[in-house]
Structure 1
Amino acid sequence: MNFDLTDEQEMMRDTFARFLDEHSSTARVRKAQETGGFDRALWQGLAQLGAFAMRIPEDAGGMDLGLFDAALLMEEAGRTLVSGPLAEALVAARLLGQFGGQDALLEQVISGEAVVTIAMFDAASRPRQWIAGGPVADGVVARWGSDIVLVRPADATAEPNLATTPIGEINLMQGERVVLGSGDEALGHFAAAIEEWKLYMAVALSGIGRQALTMAAVYAGERKAFGQLIGTFQGISHPLADLLCDVDGAKFLAWKAIRDIFDHSDEAGATVSLAYWYACDAAARAVAQGLHTFGGYGLSNEYDIHLYNLRAKAWPLVAGDPQLALEEAGRRLYAGERAELPASGEVPLDFDLGEEAHQVCQEIAELFATKVTPEQKARFHYSWEGYVPEVHKMLAQHSLLFPGLPQHLSGRNITPYARIAAMGEMERQGYNTPGANVAAMVAMMIDKYGSDELKAEVLPRIVGGDVLCSLGYSEPSCGSDVFAAQCKATQLEDGSWRIDGTKMWTSGANLASYVLMLARTNPDVPKHKGLTMFIVPLKTEGVTVQAVHTFQDERTNITFYDGVVIPDSWRLGEIDGGVKTMSAALELEHGGGFSKVMKAMIEAAEELSREMGLAQEVRTQCRLARSVAHLWISDMLTYRSQWASVEKKPNHGFGPMAKMYSSEKFLSDSRDLLDLTAPLSLSKRQGPAGFLNQCYRHAAGTTIYGGTSEVHRSMVAERGLGLPRTRG
């Protein structure tokens, strides 16, 4: 897996970024607006850096760089609101190079002396159309029926428009027209250029959106209201955190599209459409929230945020309603529509987990096919209630139960990406393992902080797959604020400990042998300093486990501890050192989402749509395609989090972003797909209807498990946007 750029790409991006910071500052953008929104000096500077030669074939005098290289430029162009039709010029210049016969013009384009752009619609049926850069263009490449033509506009006049960009409504019937190529191959080149434009626009809009959020975060970290920085208000910080996931997701969807093109994936065409549609929507919402953060000042021409608000909407609308791209994605996914795609060039991105990962997944699939009975599979469930002791033990015997643990605990040296793949494959087999995940955490803590007694008596039972452990963190009064725990541990004269109190949401306590207990041992110090961790046998006298059933077909528990006495040897770590002890759990890989169940949910909705005769309706295709976009973005955010963790990269809240985004989209899509397939989705009958029904109920819990979405939004706001702390 790789999210890194090559050294050459890093250098190129930094070069363009430095140049644009100086020559496309907001002061320069404002100055360009005075003359129609085009900065010719900026244009020529970009030419000197090789911008317009990037995608032109070498035999036509260009650099023949890849889509990803040009996308890096376009992200910086979006961030700095470049004053000129850069995306259109890149694809038009490539077309001139591909068709040939326009050497003089192409040379002027490469040098920045001439501007070429592209018309989005077939001029044979729409000769008059809005064209980005039309008023300053020396040539427009357009489709004219079965021909691709170069038009030198004769009536290219600018007019006031939404964002004061150099666009105009041009009559392509007026002006010199030269045929560049004809027939299927020529039309294919042009169609591919439009797809390339969509990708450039997607990353540019992502750049606009992210910069607007950055500006809003800086402002929120300086402006005070009611005596506090407004960035500490969750009403300010949480929407910005949501939108950071969206604009990053838009970029990564475009990255996936580029990689899909490189891999000749069947998903490539649909991914292009979805990346463009999603970026249009995400950027529009991001700039609107950014402006809103500034309050009344955001409406003032003196503040730069309004420039981003207008540009985010104006840039893509030259191609018409962005919602049409969602319909297009639906046809490409569900109606067999094919797309002509550009050559990708070299792509450093890689979202594959590697050969060892594939081998481990194959081994797990074979075990489930040969060692797990249909009766056992019928007991599988996404919750703790899906625990099947025989399967749990079988995986331990094959050293696959705890792939995230080091070899001396797991029995096998599995590399990090293979560990990720192994856990994903178990989900694909339908065997969710919350019990195994908690057991792995407890095993790690005992191995690092446990006494010799715990290591001899408890640890072998855990890693051997003979017992489960549950977590005793949350309490009825503190929820996600585990450091507010009041369950009390009092040390007795003989050194043993007496535990009294209540724990809530002790999932698996009815199945487990031990609970990992966070207890208050010192009430006279700050709350996070007075906690100690213990292992408590659940069969000990004084422990009561009471069932709590949820509407998700899931059981959790409330557990009561009344004078429960355990020896000091069952303490983990130092007295009052519980927070440090908890850190051992962080050594396990984090950053997962809910992509596997989201994918299964979409497949169930597809099946039910076919059964109901809805599959060919546009509304059905659009809504399924939207869910697919959310699924793929969830994957990409998870990949980034996993990659950053494995490769020890700076991590700006990537794990919380992946978890929060996927759980929230799982919830919203489960609701929408339940609506789409109503009334059959009301049923709990076996099959896709019952599964969709369950997904709707399951999804509600995913926004709460492991910390609520609100907790994760605060983490994203603080780590990803640098906002002040939003929690007490």
Structure 2
Amino acid sequence: MNFDLTDEQEMLRDTFARFLDEHSSTVRVRKAQETAGFDAGVWSGLADLGAFAMRVPEDAGGMDLGLFDAALLMEEAGRTLVSGPLAEALVAARLLGQLGGQDALLDQAMGGQAVVTIAMHDIAAKPVQWIAGGAVAQAVVARRGAEVVLVTVSGSAEANLATTPIAEIDLASGETAVLGSGEEALATFAAAVEEWKLYIAVSLSGIGRQALKMAAEYAGERKAFGQLIGTFQGISHPLADLLCDVDGAKFLAWKAIRDIYDGSAEAGPAISLAYWYACDAAARAVAQGLHTFGGFGLSSEYDIHLYNLRAKGLPLVAGDPALMLEEAGRRLYAGEVPALPASGEVPLDFDLGDEARQVCAELAELFATKVTPEMKAKFHYSWEGYVPEVHKMLADHKLLFPGLPEHLAGRRISPYARIAAMGELERQGYNTPGANVAAMVAMMIDKYGSDELKADVLPRITGGDVLCSLGYSEPSCGSDVFAAQCKATQLEDGSWRIDGTKMWTSGANLSSYVLMLTRTNPDVPKHKGLTMFIVPLKTEGVTVQAVHTFQDERTNITFYDGVVIPDSWRLGEIDGGVKTMSAALELEHGGGFSKVMKAMIEAAVELTGELGIAGEVRTQCRLARSVAHLWISDMLTYRAQWSSVEKKPNHAFGPMAKMYSSEKFLSDSRDLLDLTAPVSLSRRAGPAGFLNQCYRHAAGTTIYGGTSEVHRSMVAERGLGLPRTRG
């Protein structure tokens, strides 16, 4: 797996970033508005840096760089609001190089002396079109029926939403030269349009991210009611949501580029979804950014409005972006196969490797040969899916805790193979909370536990003999775990007496131990007087009472009345529970719900087929939207995993992955339930019952493992640099 750029790409991006920071400042962008939104100096400078030759084939005098290289430029161009039709010029220059016959014009285009752009629609059917850069272009590459033509025509600048050099042009009135004809030429042109969609997607992501950055900086300086407005969750949380969205839009484009390189059938729909999603995400990001500035955001003196207008003005030359969602639906579910551009080399890699595949194959074989239908019938996403025989079998094969280090898991495999193994367990339906929590407690004991715990308790956990539960939440504090009041009092002999109540201690009815956060000092601020313990649940003074949820799962409330444990069962320092607890919480962050989201979509596809609505546009659009959310959830999770394994700076990537996927799981489960109504009301076996269960299951995913609000605060603080929003 790799999210890193090559050294050459780092240099390329940095070179363009430095140039654009200096020459496409908002001062220059405003100045360019006086010349219809075109900056000839920036254009010439980009040509000097080789921008317009990047995608031109070598045999036509270009650099023949990859899609990803050009995408890096386009993201910087979006961030700095480049004044000119850059995306269109890149694909037009490549078309001139591919189709040939216009060497002089191509040289001028690569040298920045001429602006060549493209028409989005067949001019045989629609001769009068809005053309990006039409007000400054010397020529337009267009499709005309079965031909690809070059039209030499000029357009007049017209006042428009974002002050860009677009123009409405009658392309039938210009001088025309045929560049190519027939299927091959048309496929080349169609691939260029797909390439344009990718460039617009990453450019919009750059616009949206910069708008969020500006808003976050302002919110970290502006005060209202005596407080920095960035401390208000009403300000910070929407920005955190939108950071996931604009990053997700870019990652959809990155996925599409990698899919093209791999020859994946997902490439075509990924392009359409990247474009559609970026249009929506950027529009919402710039609107929220402007809103953060309040009344000042409406003032033309503040730069945020430039991003607001450009985000909407950039893509609309091609028409309604919602049409791209329909296109994605056809590509996913109606067999539409687009022509695609060549990708060139792609450094991105989302594959976990051969070792990962081998471990997954071993797990699949175990489940196929060792797990009976009766055992599988007990599988469930909740604690009630715990099957002792399966749990022990996995431990015996050193595959119960693949995410743990070798000395705990018993098997030496790479971090990526461990990730894949956990995914395979989920695919098999046995990635239960019981195993995941046991792994977490094992790591906590290994890191903070006494010799006694490591000798007596840890082997029972890693051997698959017992389960553990988590005692964090309490009836009065919920996700504010550091407000715990469950009391631990040290006795004269050094042992501890524990009294109090814990809520949502899922699995306590099946577990032997609970990892518990307690209050050991009530006279200091809430974060300073906490201590963590391992508490045996099958001991005098512990009462476990069932709490059933509408999700078809059982959790518990647990009562502790004079429970006495030795000091050796303490984890970490006395009153040092925050440090210990923070390490435990970090282990919870980073997982997503992609596997169940994928299964949910597959069930919806099956059910819409049974209902006879699979061919309807509304059905394809709704399913395609869910696929976009699934793929973004995958990509955000990959980034979190990669950054953790490779020890990269982590700007709340784990919380982003968990929060985004849980929220989209919830909204999509609701939408797919609507789509397949009324049969989805039923809890009958099959796809209808599964969709019904997904809707009920999804509600809890935004709560356990840290609520979405907690994760939004983390994203706001660590991802956007906003001031702390939590007490």
Please classify the TM superposition score into its range, dividing by the shorter chain length.
Answer: over 0.9
CA distance in 2, matches of 1:18, 1:454: 55
Q: Give SS of 1:726's match.
A: coil
Relative distance call for 1:609 and 1:241 in structure 2 (3 A) is same
Relative distance call for 1:32 and 1:584 in structure 2 (3 A) is closer
CA contact (8 A) 2:230 2:723 kept: yes
CA distance in 1, matches of 2:395, 2:36: 69
Correspondence for 1:535: 534
CA distance in 2, matches of 1:666, 1:476: 26
Which AA in structure 1 matches 2:262? D
CA contact (8 A) 1:79 1:211 kept: yes
Identity rate, percent = 87
Q: Within the alignment, does 1:452 sit opposite 2:451 as a pair?
A: yes
CA distance in 2, matches of 1:94, 1:559: 67
Q: Give SS of 1:18's match.
A: helix
Which AA in structure 2 matches 1:399? K
Structure 2: gaps of 5 or more residues? none
Correspondence for 1:51: 51
Deviation, 1:479, is: 1.0
Correspondence for 2:39: 39
Which AA in structure 2 matches 1:333? L
Deviation, 1:589, is: 8.2
Deviation, 1:517, is: 1.4
CA distance in 2, matches of 1:214, 1:555: 43
Relative distance call for 1:133 and 1:620 in structure 2 (3 A) is same
CA contact (8 A) 1:269 1:338 kept: yes
CA contact (8 A) 1:590 1:642 kept: no
CA distance in 1, matches of 2:596, 2:655: 18
Correspondence for 1:11: 11
Correspondence for 1:242: 241
Correspondence for 2:350: 351
Moved over 6 A (4+): none
Cα RMSD after superposing both structures: 1.0
Aligned ranges 1:284-683 → 2 under 5 Å? 284-585=283-584, 588=587, 590-683=589-682
Give CA deviations for 1:190-241 in whole Å, capped at 9, x if unaligned: 0000000000000000000000111111111111111111111111110000
Which AA in structure 2 matches 1:54? M
Which AA in structure 2 matches 1:51? A
CA contact (8 A) 2:88 2:196 kept: yes
Correspondence for 1:182: 181
Give CA deviations for 1:664-696 in whole Å, capped at 9, x if unaligned: 000000000000000000000001000000000
CA contact (8 A) 1:532 1:578 kept: yes
CA contact (8 A) 1:656 1:713 kept: yes
Deviation, 1:537, is: 1.0
Q: Give SS of 1:180's match.
A: strand
Correspondence for 1:68: 68
Correspondence for 2:146: 146
CA contact (8 A) 1:448 1:584 kept: no
Which AA in structure 2 matches 1:369? A
CA distance in 1, matches of 2:679, 2:107: 62
Correspondence for 1:266: 265
Q: Give SS of 1:133's match.
A: coil
CA contact (8 A) 1:383 1:432 kept: no
Q: Which moved more, 1:388-397 or 1:156-165?
A: 156-165
CA distance in 1, matches of 2:122, 2:545: 69
Q: Give SS of 1:34's match.
A: helix
Q: Give SS of 2:564's match.
A: strand
Which AA in structure 2 matches 1:3? F
CA distance in 2, matches of 1:393, 1:592: 24
Correspondence for 1:2: 2
Correspondence for 2:256: 257
CA contact (8 A) 2:121 2:142 kept: yes
CA distance in 1, matches of 2:278, 2:606: 29
Q: Give SS of 2:338's match.
A: coil
Correspondence for 2:221: 222
CA contact (8 A) 2:488 2:498 kept: yes
Deviation, 1:577, is: 2.0
Correspondence for 2:134: 134
Correspondence for 2:721: 722
Q: Within the alignment, does 1:97 sit opposite 2:97 as a pair?
A: yes
CA contact (8 A) 2:663 2:702 kept: yes
Which AA in structure 1 matches 2:126? R
CA contact (8 A) 1:74 1:200 kept: yes
Q: Which moved more, 1:455-464 or 1:569-578?
A: 569-578
CA distance in 2, matches of 1:237, 1:709: 13
Q: Which moved more, 1:167-176 or 1:569-578?
A: 569-578
Q: Give SS of 2:315's match.
A: helix
CA distance in 2, matches of 1:582, 1:366: 37
Give CA deviations for 1:31-53 in whole Å, capped at 9, x if unaligned: 11011111111100000000000
Deviation, 1:586, is: 6.5
Q: Within the alignment, does 1:200 sit opposite 2:215 as a pair?
A: no
Deviation, 1:452, is: 2.5
CA distance in 2, matches of 1:80, 1:339: 31
Correspondence for 2:88: 88
Deviation, 1:526, is: 2.3
Which AA in structure 1 matches 2:549? T
CA distance in 1, matches of 2:471, 2:96: 67
Which AA in structure 2 matches 1:68? F
CA contact (8 A) 1:504 1:558 kept: yes
Deviation, 1:125, is: 0.7
Which AA in structure 2 matches 1:683? S
CA distance in 1, matches of 2:678, 2:222: 50
TM (normalized to structure 1)?
Answer: 0.99
Q: Give SS of 1:529's match.
A: coil
CA distance in 2, matches of 1:414, 1:523: 45
CA contact (8 A) 1:381 1:432 kept: no
CA distance in 2, matches of 1:232, 1:530: 25
Which AA in structure 2 matches 1:61? G
CA distance in 2, matches of 1:84, 1:455: 65
CA distance in 1, matches of 2:553, 2:513: 20
Q: Which moved more, 1:430-439 or 1:592-601?
A: 430-439
Give CA deviations for 1:586-622 in whole Å, capped at 9, x if unaligned: 6858511000000000000000000000100000000
Correspondence for 2:20: 20
CA contact (8 A) 2:380 2:432 kept: no
CA contact (8 A) 1:590 1:645 kept: no
Which AA in structure 1 matches 2:460? R
Q: Give SS of 2:314's match.
A: helix
Correspondence for 1:171: 170
CA distance in 2, matches of 1:580, 1:243: 30
Give CA deviations for 1:541-577 in whole Å, capped at 9, x if unaligned: 1100000000100110000001111122222222222
TM (normalized to structure 2)?
Answer: 0.99
CA contact (8 A) 1:3 1:640 kept: yes
Deviation, 1:579, is: 2.3
Give CA deviations for 1:386-439 in whole Å, capped at 9, x if unaligned: 000000000000000111222222111121111111110011011122111111
CA contact (8 A) 1:109 1:115 kept: yes
CA contact (8 A) 1:405 1:588 kept: no
CA distance in 2, matches of 1:66, 1:240: 32
Equivalenced residue count is: 727
CA distance in 2, matches of 1:293, 1:572: 43
Which AA in structure 1 matches 2:672? L
Relative distance call for 1:588 and 1:704 in structure 2 (3 A) is closer
Q: Give SS of 1:136's match.
A: coil
CA distance in 2, matches of 1:403, 1:622: 38
Q: Give SS of 2:575's match.
A: coil
CA contact (8 A) 1:124 1:145 kept: yes
CA distance in 2, matches of 1:628, 1:662: 12
CA contact (8 A) 2:469 2:508 kept: yes
Which AA in structure 1 matches 2:75? E
